[in-house]
Amino acid sequence: MRSEIKKGIAIGNYNSQFATYLSFKKGDIIVLEAKEGEFWRGRLGAHIGLVSQNYIKEIENQPVTGVATVTNNNINNNINQVSQPTFNSSINNHINKNNNNNNGSSPITTPTKQEDPKEKIQPTQPQIQQDEDEAIAKKIRDSFTHFQSKEELLEAIQNLAIKFVKQSSVLKKELAQEQAQRKELEEELKFIKHKHNLL
């Protein structure tokens, strides 16, 4: 007996601050239960929440049988298809070969990738910071679309502000304690040096 389960692979990390959304890490397999606008209602283990379609790569439906037909190599290849578009064709061919080899005795081989001179160009630090800022801004915009009213939005922002203030207070206390300990060690070191000079 066969049944089809729709799944997706996380192509990035997402740590949600709200219970409505699902937190996940890159490479996690998420069961996609239903489509809700631009979001999926996904299930990861015992947790259920909304997942933006921009953060997942849907896996083609495959029949569930007694023998698993999806290997870790196939999962990694699917993730690489999203981050490396220039190699989509060769990776797709390799995935098809791997699926056929699962039913036989031929070993699974890892595809070799030729180096592209363009890939050796490392992004500059300002560009990396800009990309990170844009990703954070996008997460915030996606989160705001699910609030039913301005009151809910303001309450969420207030909760985040309270959490930020508490964390800042804790960090200040830890910094003050560290400075006090450092001062004590310096005083003790001066005393030891002075005592040594007297001897």
Specify if 32 maps to a domain. Answer: yes
Specify if 93 maps to a domain. Answer: yes
Return the amino acid letter for 139.
Answer: K
- Residue 83, pLDDT score: 46
Q: How large a percentage of the chain has pLDDT more than 90?
A: 15
Question: How confident is the model over 154-163, as pLDDT tens digits?
Answer: 887 788 878 8
CATH number at residue 46: 2.30.30.40
Q: Is the pTM of this model over 0.85?
A: no
pLDDT band with cut points at 50, 70 and 90 for residue 64: very low
- Residue 69, pLDDT score: 42
For the chain, the domain total comes to 1
Specify if 72 maps to a domain. Answer: yes
Specify if 128 maps to a domain. Answer: no
Q: Does residue 66 surpass a pLDDT of 70?
A: no
| Pair of tokens at residue 178 | 């560290």
pLDDT band with cut points at 50, 70 and 90 for residue 24: very high
Specify if 197 maps to a domain. Answer: no
| Residue found under tokens 């921009």 | 54
DSSP letter at 21? B
Q: Does residue 197 surpass a pLDDT of 70?
A: yes
Specify if 188 maps to a domain. Answer: no
Q: Which residues contact 11 (CB under 8 A, 6 or more apart)?
A: 26, 55, 56, 57, 79, 82, 83
Can you tell me the mean pLDDT for 79-107?
Answer: 48
Can you tell me the mean pLDDT for 23-46?
Answer: 91
Specify if 181 maps to a domain. Answer: no
Question: How confident is the model over 102-149, as pLDDT tens digits?
Answer: 555 445 555 565 666 555 566 667 777 778 777 877 777 777 677 777
Laid out side by side, the sheet with 29-36 consists of 47-52, 39-44, 29-36, 7-10, 56-59
